[in-house]
Amino acid sequence: MERIAVFPGTFDPITNGHLDIIERGLKIFDRLVVAVAENPGKSPLFTVEERVEMVRACVEGREGVEVESFNNLLVDYLRKRGIRIILRGLRVISDFEHEFQMALTNRKLAPEIETVFMMTGERFAYTKSSLIKEIYDLGGRIDCFVPPPVVRMFERKFGRRKG
């Protein structure tokens, strides 16, 4: 039986830390669906279409990875796809409380779905999408935090920054 997991997130933008989870997740699962959440409540910098394009560019050539968006409850999305595993990354201890609450809520809503947590590689523990957006906005370089397609997407959308 094929082992499939969904790695959900806003991915605004996708970071090297996210890619680390994807790479390592592929060692455990046969297929990984990167599910880009529309999540307009978070006021994303990039549209959902841009975020899907960005993620696809970053995982291009990686066998076993699929990218699509969703705009409903995560457990409903998984049920619709017939997938029973959620993969979530943890960077620092403060992530755990939020992720633990979400996992317990998802378990209450859909007991057949399990959440698997994976620690981000230590070299990415401090990387956070909101911090990357702030660095770019203030003229800093982001190429050490995100893959080249993300840098190009920022430059295409907002122009080049000093730095």
Report the catalytic residues.
Answer: 18, 42, 91, 129
Residue 127 per-residue DSSP state: -
Q: What is the rounded distance in angstroms from the CA atom of residue 5 to the CA atom of residue 85?
A: 5
Angle between helices 48-59 and 16-25 (to 10 degrees): 60
Q: What is the rounded distance in angstroms from the CA atom of residue 54 to the CA atom of residue 17?
A: 15
What percent of the residues of the chain are helix, what percent strand, and what percent coil, each to the nearest 5? 45, 20, 35
